Amino acid sequence: MASSLNNKIVSRGFGDTIAKMTKKTGIASAVKGISKAVGIEDCGCDGRQDKLNNPKLLVNKLFYKK
């Protein structure tokens, strides 16, 4: 596994930041495992991430300026 210092990925918005946090803490893999066990194909994480990356959201206007 490559060092996170060498491969720093810049977030496009709040959705990317939340996705990074859930991956680092293991929440993302737990949700995917539980969803699979319950029989749900898609937990909706990618769609939520895209919605939270919307540049029109105030949080993205304030903290994720391009």
pLDDT tens across 31-62, in order?
999 999 999 988 899 999 999 999 999 999 99
User: What pLDDT does residue 3 have?
Assistant: 45
- pLDDT over 70 percentage in the chain: 88
* pLDDT at 64 exceeding the cut of 50: yes
Amino acid sitting at position 15: G
Instruction: Give 65's pLDDT tier (boundaries 50, 70, 90).
Output: confident
The pTM (predicted TM-score) of the whole model is: 0.78
Domain ranges of the chain: 14-63
